[in-house]
């Protein structure tokens, strides 16, 4: 098999084979289950690849890895300039091939600025523009920016993030291009997925300090109580209960109605079930397990309602100061 005859998936399979199990294992952890399955299938059906073709595959892989790193760090123009100096005209070929096959997230060039720099950069922008940018930044980065904005701007930006739906590629490209022209970076237009909404705002607030979170949620509730509740419901989901330490978990279990708890545990993953059972007395754990075993088919919405009740207890205990939740870790006061 020759390089030109191989698909990109087959080339990836060849790279994994050459790297070997120990080296490849940490890389596979960054892939989705579907991607790993596809890669495994390609490996199983790859057949024999001549040594010279393997060398060419590895060379291409290395070049694209370098190009991708430079794109992420400084944008496409920056990467193109560096690769031209490294590979001449071939540098353009590498960049063009990479851009056509790999998605570069909008506003990616802002991810390497710290929160204070981004606040200074964005503070004079319209709240809608700030919301659009934050929706595409990692939640932790966006949280830092949100915390640094003036209180009245925070509320406006948070509301716009929560109510944001699909933004046209043309609008995103226009905003991004204007920002890039000031920072000296550039990128090619891409198709953009839906971004923003209550889930993105909840992720930002989950990564914010408690003061910022309280202020924004208070303002949001005053403007749109229903929207605020949607955001609040996503800020600590039932599965997050595994992040509570034993004392905090026990404090929650003392307040939860056992009927709600039984229903809430229907169909949950083993780690969630184990985290709950191990924080109960042996007798209570056996009783709960028996009730779960006897519980027949139930409606998903009933399970979700029960899980929401458990989450309500967690939030109530946090508001009362009984437990503290910080970045997914909890402790009893």
Question: Do 301 and 235 meet the contact criterion of CB atoms below 8 Å apart?
Answer: no
Sequence-separated contacts (24+) of 62-67 with Cβ below 8 Å = 63/87, 63/94, 64/94, 64/97, 64/98, 67/91, 67/94, 67/95, 67/98
Q: What DSSP assignment string belongs to 4-37? A: GGS-HHHHHHHHHHHH-HHHHHHHHTTS-HHHHH
H or E segment and range at residue 326: strand 323-326
Region 2-26 average pLDDT:
82
Q: Is residue 254 located within the same domain as residue 287?
A: yes
- pLDDT score, position 170: 78
Contact 234, 202 (CB under 8 A): yes
pLDDT band at 50 (very low <50, low <70, confident <90, very high): confident
Q: How far apart are CA 143 and CA 139, in angstroms?
A: 6
Range of the domain at 138: 110-232
Q: Where among 213, 232, 251 does a domain terminate?
A: 232
Mean pLDDT of the chain: 81
**What mean pLDDT do residues 199-210 have?**
76
- From 76, 101, 126, the end of a domain falls on 101
Residues 183 and 266 in one domain: no
Q: Is residue 294 scored above 80 in pLDDT?
A: yes
Residue 330 confidence (pLDDT) above 80: no
Structure tokens at 175: 């905003």
pLDDT of residue 102: 55
CA distances from 57 to 12, 37, 60, 63, 162 (A): 9, 21, 5, 10, 45
Kindly report the number of other CB atoms within 10 A of residue 39's CB atom: 20
Shared-domain flag, residues 7 and 55: yes
Interacting residues of 134 by C-beta distance below 8 A, sequence separation 6+: 142, 145, 146, 157, 161, 200, 204
Give the pLDDT score at 103: 54
Residues 269 and 245 in one domain: yes
d(CA 229, CA 195) in angstroms, rounded, equals 20
Do 286 and 228 lie in a common domain? no
Q: Is the dihedral of CA 300, 301, 302, 304 positive or negative?
A: positive
Same domain, residue pair 85 and 145: no
Per-range mean pLDDT, top range of 203-217, 278-292, 306-320: 278-292
Q: Long-range CB contacts (< 8 A, 24+ apart) of 184-189? A: 184/77, 185/74, 185/75, 185/76, 185/77, 185/78, 185/109, 186/75, 186/76, 186/77, 187/71, 187/75, 187/76, 187/104, 187/108, 187/109, 188/76, 188/99, 188/104
The more confident residue out of 66 and 3 is 66
Identify whether residues 42 and 73 lie together within a single domain: yes
Please tell me whether residues 122 and 66 are part of one structural domain: no
Cα gap 102→96, rounded to integer Å: 10
**pLDDT tens column, 230-262:** 887 777 778 888 889 899 999 999 999 999 999
**103 Cβ contact partners less than 8 Å away, ≥ 6 residues apart:** 190
Domain containing residue 195: CATH number: 1.10.220.30
Burial class (CB in 10 A: 0-12, 13-18, 19+), 265: buried
Residue 196 dihedral angles phi and psi, to the nearest 5°: 95, 180
Strand-pair partners of 267: none
- Report how far apart, in Å, the C-alpha atoms of 259 and of each of 195, 204, 256, 262, 291 are: 37, 33, 9, 5, 9
Of 232, 262, 286, which closes a domain?
A: 232
Q: Return the CA Rg of the chain.
A: 25
141 with 187, same domain: the answer is: yes
| pLDDT of res. 249 | 93
**86 and 115: one domain?**
no
| Lowest-confidence region among 26-35, 100-109, 294-303 | 100-109
Residue 310 tokens, joined: 């458990």
Q: Could you give the number of structural domains in the chain? A: 3
| pLDDT at residue 243 in the model | 85
Residues 211 and 140 in one domain: yes
Residue 267 predicted with pLDDT over 60: yes
How many Å from the N-terminal Cα to the C-terminal Cα in the chain?
65
| 44's tokens | 């199983």
Are 206 and 266 contained in the same domain? no
Question: What DSSP letter does each residue of 123-168 carry, written as one string?
Answer: TTS-HHHHHHHHHHS-HHHHHHHHHHS-HHHHHHHHHHHHH-----
């Amino acid at each position: 098999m020759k390089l030109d005859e191989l698909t990109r998936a087959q080339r990836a399979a060849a790279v994994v084979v050459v790297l070997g199990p120990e080296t490849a294992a940490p890389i596979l952890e960054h892939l989705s289950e579907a991607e790993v399955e596809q890669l495994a299938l390609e490996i199983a059906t790859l057949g024999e690849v001549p040594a010279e073709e393997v060398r060419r595959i590895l060379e291409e892989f290395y070049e694209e890895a370098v190009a991708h790193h430079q794109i992420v760090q400084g944008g496409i123009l920056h990467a193109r300039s560096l690769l031209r100096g490294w590979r001449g005209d071939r540098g353009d070929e590498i960049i063009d091939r990479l851009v056509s096959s790999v998605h570069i997230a909008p506003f990616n060039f802002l991810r390497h600025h710290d929160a204070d720099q981004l606040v200074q950069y964005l503070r004079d922008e319209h709240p809608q523009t700030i919301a659009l940018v934050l929706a595409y930044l990692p939640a932790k980065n966006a949280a830092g920016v949100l915390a640094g904005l003036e209180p009245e701007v925070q509320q406006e930006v948070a509301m716009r993030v929560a109510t944001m739906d699909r933004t046209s590629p043309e609008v995103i490209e226009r905003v991004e291009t204007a920002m890039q022209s000031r920072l000296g970076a550039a990128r090619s237009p891409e198709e953009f997925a839906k971004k923003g909404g209550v889930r993105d705002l909840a992720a930002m607030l989950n990564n914010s300090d408690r003061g910022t979170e309280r202020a924004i949620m208070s303002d949001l509730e005053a403007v749109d109580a229903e929207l605020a509740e949607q955001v609040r419901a996503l800020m600590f989901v039932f599965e997050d209960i595994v992040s509570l330490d034993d004392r905090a978990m026990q404090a929650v279990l003392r307040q939860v109605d056992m009927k709600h708890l039984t229903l809430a545990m229907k169909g949950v993953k083993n780690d969630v079930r184990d985290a709950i059972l191990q924080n109960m007395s042996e007798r209570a754990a056996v009783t709960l397990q028996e009730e779960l075993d006897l519980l027949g088919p139930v409606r998903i919405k009933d399970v979700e309602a029960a899980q929401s009740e458990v989450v309500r207890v967690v939030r109530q205990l946090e508001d009362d100061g009984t437990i503290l939740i910080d970045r997914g870790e909890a402790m009893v006061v």
